[in-house]
Amino acid sequence: MAMTMTGDVTLPADRTKVWALLNDPEVLKACIPGCESLEKTGDNGFAAVVKTKIGPVSATFKGKVELTDIAPLVGYTIKGEGEGGIAGFAKGGAKVSLADAPGGTLLHYDVDAHVGGKIAQLGARLIDGVAKNMADKFFASFAAIAAGGAAPAGAAEPAIPSIAQAAPAVETSAPAAAQAARRPPAAQAIPTKTSWFRRIREWFMSLWR
């Protein structure tokens, strides 16, 4: 089953720093969700072990990655393949390019991959969702490192404000408060004569029943 994905991410660092991070195995290992190891096997090659879960299927993929079409500070192409045992296999590539952008560097990526075996039977929608989630986590961690921080351990849950935080503060000026204090209490409803006459009539009528 074929899978494609494309996207743009603005990173808070200049191209020189982003390029260096994209070629640092330790940085990539810290950013790839579920990556247990990533070791260089040559000038442009890596051996990787990634543990992941797609729906009900959990698998550990062991594979190799190679960088080609390398243009320093401009981009490269990633080609790789991995075997996950009975879960299946994955292979494909991604083109990564860099460009200057306001406040940092724009990274553009185009992914073209193929998966087979048990994971391919789960359906394109589920696999695409997992792939997008992994990409979002990778770039969130990568952006944190590019900004000078450490890679987050995982995606944080969105903070839910408490009722006190969600409710806007209401400020009352002193003149307004004084005016409210001088305001007479609301008049209570006074029964009309018609209602009293109706009650008396109903009482007389009840005596003749």
Between CA 60 and CA 5 the distance in angstroms is 22
Q: Provide mean pLDDT across the span 146-162.
A: 50
Per-residue b/e over 187-196, b at no fewer than 16 CB within 10 Å? eeeeeeeeee
User: pLDDT tens digit string along 81-113?
Assistant: 999 888 888 899 999 999 999 989 999 999 998
User: pLDDT tens digit string along 176-195?
Assistant: 444 444 444 443 433 444 45
User: pLDDT tens digit string along 6-36?
Assistant: 999 999 999 999 999 999 999 999 999 999 9
Domain boundaries defined on the chain: 2-146
CATH architecture of 2-146: 2-Layer Sandwich (3.30)
pLDDT band (50, 70, 90) for residue 47 = very high
What is the reported pLDDT for 199?
55
What is the reported pLDDT for 37?
94
119: Cβ contacts below 8 Å, ≥ 6 apart: 54, 57, 59, 84, 87, 88, 90, 127
Between CA 29 and CA 51 the distance in angstroms is 12
Amino acid identity at 16: T
Cα end-to-end span (Å), the chain: 88
**pLDDT score of 57 more than 80:** yes
